[in-house]
Amino acid sequence: MISEYRGIGMTSQRTRERLVKRLEEQGIHNVSVLDAIRQMPRHLFVDEALASRSYEDIALPIGHGQTISQPYMVARMTEALVETGPLNKVLEVGTGSGYQAAIMSRFADTVYTVERIEPLLTRARRLFVKLKIRNIRVHYSDGTWGWPENEPYDGIIVTAAPVEIPQALLQQLQIGGRLVMPVGQQGKQKLVLISRTESGYERDVLNQVSFVPLLSGTI
């Protein structure tokens, strides 16, 4: 296993630096977020056949019609949540490969992540064990309903796009907490940042984006 890490690690150190530099040029300034991207072995979150492309700033297929998010998006969403300091509980909807959760796990006491496709969740869970990441809890369910057992969350990150923000997610957000997610029809999605205040919710639009759709039910 060591040679597996070392072998790919050696050849990819320069490509990782190139990725971090590109993210910086695109406006990611949080040094801790850039460090997390630099250190996380993204090649382990994709199929071996795609490992050589894993430090490019692109989404890649992970099976079941899903994709591992583009590193820029992961960095942007993480940065938006951690801007106000370290977080206690973070909910992620859409575990997929587990990459976003693994990055987020460095900024939160506990990351709770929910996925509707069981084989993806199983693979991600194994990877967290292999990487010795111990503060991620996984749950097989339709994340449209959030994960009510652990609410409220100081951060919520959704990595698939619904047409409208699910009410349950707004309700499970702590006062002072932040929710970052893509919203809208395919081709017209926007990345929004919602902050919950004493009196309600504030909404900012960050970027035009393209995510896979948030679907209902489990498979």
CB of 123 to ligand SAH, least distance (A): 10
CB-CB contact of 156 with 93 (8 Å): yes
| Cα distance between residue 98 and residue 101, in whole Å | 5
121: helix, coil or strand? helix
**Beta carbon nearer to ligand SAH, 143 or 177:** 143
**Beta carbon nearer to ligand SAH, 106 or 116:** 116
Q: Which of 12, 54, 69, 105 is catalytic?
A: 69
Q: Which residue is nearest to ligand SAH (CB)?
A: 96
CB-CB contact of 105 with 135 (8 Å): yes
CB of 73 to ligand SAH, least distance (A): 9
Binding site for ligand SAH (CB under 6 A): 66-69, 93-94, 96-97, 99-100, 114-117, 120, 142-144, 159-160, 212, 214-216
Helices 2-25 and 31-39, packing angle to 10 deg: 150
Phi, psi of 72 (to 5 degrees): -60, -45
CB of 64 to ligand SAH, least distance (A): 7
**Beta carbon nearer to ligand SAH, 69 or 172:** 69
Q: 119 burial class (0-12, 13-18, 19+ CB within 10 angstroms)?
A: exposed
190: helix, coil or strand? strand
Active site (annotated) includes residue 69:
yes
**Beta carbon nearer to ligand SAH, 115 or 154:** 115
Q: Are strands 136-140 and 201-209 parallel, antiparallel or unpaired?
A: unpaired
| Active site members | 69
